[in-house]
Structure 1
Amino acid sequence: MIDLHCHILPDVDDGPSDLEGALAMARVAAADGIHKLAATPHVPYSGLDRAQIAARVAAFQEEIDRAGIDLRLYVGADAATSIGAEALAAHPLHDGPYQLIEFPHTHLPADAGELVFELLNRGRVPIITHPERNPSVLRSPDLIGELVAAGALVQITAESLTGGFGPESRACGRHLLRNGWVHLLASDGHSADWRPPVLSKGLKVAGRVIGKAAALKLVVDNPAKILAGEGL
């Protein structure tokens, strides 16, 4: 499996505080069947630019290899939409046209559709992170359908589907799945224990909602195409 949203870098924003914690996350991910993972620190809150993130990823990959863990890292960012389209465009997933964008945790801005349009015009394909946890989407899930129709992709958190973020997010995530508005399942992992990098449990739930084959696309086929810069 491939996890394209994970806060695994040591001593970066609200991920693991040290190398030991980061390696513990890597072991959890590999044990769950995740063998490719995008390290996606918060931007701008991590204080890191693209080059600094890439350097941190390369250094941590060396530690992962030294520890004998079967996990390949990719460069990404969980970028806040508040920085605007121009700054967002500097933080792709790997080297392709796709990128994670994070709307405010409190609401979905009225100009969300305009931002999607502007990013697409810049040659970027925005992937909206965890909308099933956003209060505006919880009240009006069909807002996500409008953004998908405009060209955005959607990533939901695996733990949302298992109830880890409460019954409302669980129900919303399943609603988005049933409507075909979900393109990725990711862990949004932050530690080996609290919000671990685990996809298998959410994958099982997704399989019950949309079927096993369709669910597998969210953690295998689609993320592989995104890393390759191919269309979904």
Structure 2
Amino acid sequence: MVLVDIHCHILPGIDDGAKDWMTSMKLAREAVQNGVTHAVVTPHTLNGKYLNHKKDVIRLTENFQEMLDEAHLPLTVFPGMEVRINNKLLEAIANDDILFCDEEGKYMLLEFPSNDVPSFSSSIVYELLREEITPVIVHPERNTKIMQNPELLQGFLEQGCLVQITASSYTGIFGSKVEKFARQLIKAGQGCTFASDAHDLPNRQYQLSEAYDKLSHEFGEELAQTWKDNARDLINGEPVEMRWHPLKQGKFFGLF
């Protein structure tokens, strides 16, 4: 069975994920134990602290795959990035220094600051879509501004963005408020797949299988399988659709 993780921080020494190769291999074993067969390794870039370059990520990913093969670990890794929304993003794309979920550059993991959605975000998204790049907004359920103003996310959905929810948000690792909001987004169709967002940090372990089991129990096996298929379609550059509807504002009064 194929289980794809489109977002994890298990390359060594280039962001706040794995600190060295030993840690990378530990995280890889945890991924395999959790059922992951394919993973896009996605170090941060353009976030003000980490600036990673395409060629370096590709080189490290190739080295990592060689180590995985030598260790007979059944995990296939692909180079990617978690890209912070930034005024320098379009320039980086023009300079061929950004990695995507897929080889053809159709889907890009797009991150907002934890507590904000910058005012220029919609214009950057507009330019990305003009270039036929679909942003996949990562972990909006953990963004405090979106939690307080869910219509911000809906604006990006109207533009044509996709949404990835962190598996451990839905399983409750980040607390009940984040878990509740993740569930509300799922119920409204405002998500298309889970990802681990795994780091070598407390409470940032792999939870993909647990999240999909919970999704199957709460929303049905068909939706869980669709979300798994969507992750595979993203790395293959295949079409992914979200059938979503707006959230009612009153439902959020219980969050705070």
Larger radius of gyration: 2
Deviation track 1:147-203 (CA, whole Å, cap 9, x = no partner) reads 112100000100001111111111111111011110120000002864113301111
1:95 pairs with one of 77, 84, 103: 103
Shift of 1:228: 1.2
1:129 pairs with one of 131, 138, 162: 138
Residue 230 of structure 2 is aligned to residue 226 of structure 1: no
- Take 1:128 and 1:119, find their aligned partners in 2: how far apart are those partners? 13
- Do the aligned partners of residues 138 and 38 (structure 1) sit closer, same or farther apart at CA in structure 2, a change above 3 Å counting? same
Unaligned ranges ≥5, structure 1? none
- Secondary structure of 1:207's counterpart equals helix
- Take 2:92 and 2:114, find their aligned partners in 1: how far apart are those partners? 17
Shift of 1:115: 2.0
Deviation track 1:197-220 (CA, whole Å, cap 9, x = no partner) reads 3301111222233222112222x2
Which residue in 1 is equivalent to 2:221? 212
- Secondary structure of 1:82's counterpart equals coil
- Take 2:40 and 2:20, find their aligned partners in 1: how far apart are those partners? 18
Deviation track 1:109-151 (CA, whole Å, cap 9, x = no partner) reads 2333222211100121100010000011111223222211210
Tell me the amino acid that sits aligned with residue 19 of structure 2. S
Normalising by structure 1, we get a TM-score of 0.93
- Do the aligned partners of residues 110 and 46 (structure 1) sit closer, same or farther apart at CA in structure 2, a change above 3 Å counting? closer
Range with greater deviation from structure 2 (124-133 or 86-95): 86-95
Tell me the amino acid that sits aligned with residue 138 of structure 2. T
Normalising by structure 2, we get a TM-score of 0.85
Residue 76 of structure 2 is aligned to residue 72 of structure 1: yes
Residue 176 of structure 2 is aligned to residue 167 of structure 1: yes
Percent identical residues: 31
Shift of 1:42: 0.4
- Take 1:129 and 1:15, find their aligned partners in 2: how far apart are those partners? 16
Which residue in 1 is equivalent to 2:8? 6
Contact 1:141 1:172 in 2 (8 A): no
Which residue in 1 is equivalent to 2:19? 17
- Do the aligned partners of residues 80 and 185 (structure 1) sit closer, same or farther apart at CA in structure 2, a change above 3 Å counting? same
Contact 1:42 1:77 in 2 (8 A): yes
CA RMSD across the alignment? 1.6
Shift of 1:88: 5.7
- Do the aligned partners of residues 28 and 138 (structure 1) sit closer, same or farther apart at CA in structure 2, a change above 3 Å counting? same
Range with greater deviation from structure 2 (78-87 or 160-169): 78-87
- Take 2:186 and 2:233, find their aligned partners in 1: how far apart are those partners? 19
Range with greater deviation from structure 2 (191-200 or 118-127): 191-200
Residue 41 of structure 2 is aligned to residue 39 of structure 1: yes
- Secondary structure of 2:86's counterpart equals helix
Contact 1:28 1:198 in 2 (8 A): no
- Secondary structure of 1:27's counterpart equals helix
Unaligned ranges ≥5, structure 2? 241-256
Shift of 1:21: 1.0
- Take 1:165 and 1:119, find their aligned partners in 2: how far apart are those partners? 31
Residues 51-200 of structure 1 aligned to structure 2 (within 5 Å): 51-87=55-91, 89=93, 90-96=98-104, 97-191=106-200, 194-200=203-209
Contact 2:173 2:203 in 1 (8 A): no
Number of residue-to-residue matches in the alignment: 231
Tell me the amino acid that sits aligned with residue 102 of structure 2. H
Tell me the amino acid that sits aligned with residue 21 of structure 2. L
- Take 1:79 and 1:36, find their aligned partners in 2: how far apart are those partners? 20
